[in-house]
Amino acid sequence: MRWHISHRYDPRALPLANRHYNRQSPESPQFVPLGRCVVLLTEGATALWVSSWPLYVRHAWPGAWVNTLFRNELPVAHLSSELIAEAVAATRAVWGAPPLAGIVTFVDSTVVRSRNPGCCYRKAGWSRVGVTEARGLIVLRQLPSEMPPPCAPVGYQASLGLEAL
């Protein structure tokens, strides 16, 4: 596992978040939308992942977890497809059973510097499921049956389960 657990205000992650194309408020120290989140950062802060479980949705996959940010600035050290698979496994370790709708992400093919936008997600087992009407974003999804097994990120300590006693 290359991912370390982080948080929505992590100053080490902020430069990566600020360089992501969907960043709306670079002056804000928080870079995660409202709702529950899993923020993952590689050692050396060369890659960043955010899984979000939004309070409000404006897309056709309600209930799904959403990958709202993924940035890999050192692809020679970490294949993006491998980081994506590990991030999903880490999200499962933190949140438990995934929703039936799985996890989705939205890729802006007009901004991503790739001849094949979303390729790294497809290599990680995600499928293209459509394009958003409003902005024409490519929608990729991974269903629970396609997800890797849970694997805790470095530094994550699960509940001791004392609430069940």
CB neighbour list of residue 112: distance below 8 Å, 6 or more residues apart: 21, 118
Is 121 inside a domain boundary?
Answer: yes
CB atoms inside a 10 Å sphere around CB 50: 25
DSSP label of 19? T
Q: Strand 103-107 vs strand 65-72: parallel, antiparallel, or unpaired? A: parallel
Determine contact, residues 75/43, Cβ cutoff 8 Å. no
Is 164 inside a domain boundary?
Answer: no
Is 112 inside a domain boundary?
Answer: yes
Is 106 inside a domain boundary?
Answer: yes
Q: Which amino acid is present at 86?
A: E
Nearest to 93, CA basis, from 156, 50, 141, 142: 156
Number of domains in the chain: 1
Beta partners for 72? 47
Residue-number span of the structural domain to which 111 is assigned: 3-155
Would you say the C-alpha torsion 120, 121, 125, 128 has a positive or negative sign? Answer: negative
Is 15 inside a domain boundary?
Answer: yes
Tell me the pLDDT of the chain (165 aa) as tens digits.
999 999 999 999 999 998 776 766 777 778 788 889 999 999 999 999 999 998 777 778 889 999 999 999 998 899 999 999 999 999 999 999 999 999 999 999 988 878 899 999 999 999 999 998 888 999 999 999 999 999 999 999 876 544 433
- Which two three-digit tokens encode residue 10? 């992590």
The three-point CA angle 144-129-33 to 5° equals 70
DSSP label of 15? H
Is 42 inside a domain boundary?
Answer: yes
Is 87 inside a domain boundary?
Answer: yes
CATH of residue 91: 3.40.630.30
Nearest to 89, CA basis, from 5, 148, 156, 48: 148
0.75 exceeded by the pTM? yes
Is 165 inside a domain boundary?
Answer: no
